[in-house]
Structure 1
């Protein structure tokens, strides 16, 4: 496989992942960003662990979707992530009415 073929494959995979994200994002309540991944989830708990100099975060998510093009199954029932950098959790807007 040439470098050009590999680049085309990765571009196609990213486009497929974006389309999947666009189709499912309204099914979720939260967007969660960690240092390595991006998640959609319906339940999120963030726990600060450790001592002052060695603080880390434990993030637990339920009913989640993982933004990772190399993962064969992106929907997961329960995820537990440990990270040493900040975690960003945002609640998605849920419009009361959707237009056809």
Structure 2
């Protein structure tokens, strides 16, 4: 497999992942971004912890979807994430009525 073939394969995976994200984003209430991953979730709990002067964040996500092209199953019941960098949690707005195109 050449470098171009590998790059084309990864580009196809990324495009498929984006399409899946676009299809499922309406099922979730929150977008969560950490330094390593991007998640969609219906329940998010963020706890700030300290240990020996170090500050870190512990996240608990329920009914989540993980942005990761290498996972065979991106839907997970619960996720626990520990990160040492900032966490961004946004609540998704839900339109009351979706007009068909």
Who is 2:18 aligned against?
18
Shift of 1:15: 0.3
Q: Distance in 2 between matches of 1:20 and 1:86?
A: 26
Q: Give CA-to-partner distance per residue, 1:44-87, whole Å, 9 cap, x none.
A: 00000114730100000000000000011100000000000010
Q: Distance in 2 between matches of 1:29 and 1:71?
A: 22
| TM-score normalized with structure 1 length | 0.97
Who is 2:32 aligned against?
32
RMSD: 0.9
| TM-score normalized with structure 2 length | 0.96
For these two proteins, the number of residue pairs brought into alignment is 100
Q: Which runs of 5+ in 1 are unaligned?
A: none
Q: Distance in 2 between matches of 1:80 and 1:90?
A: 18
Q: Distance in 2 between matches of 1:90 and 1:24?
A: 16
Q: Distance in 2 between matches of 1:69 and 1:10?
A: 8
Structure 1 residue matching 2:57: 3-state secondary structure:
strand
Q: Which runs of 5+ in 2 are unaligned?
A: none
Give 4+ residue runs of structure 1 displaced > 3 Å after superposition: none
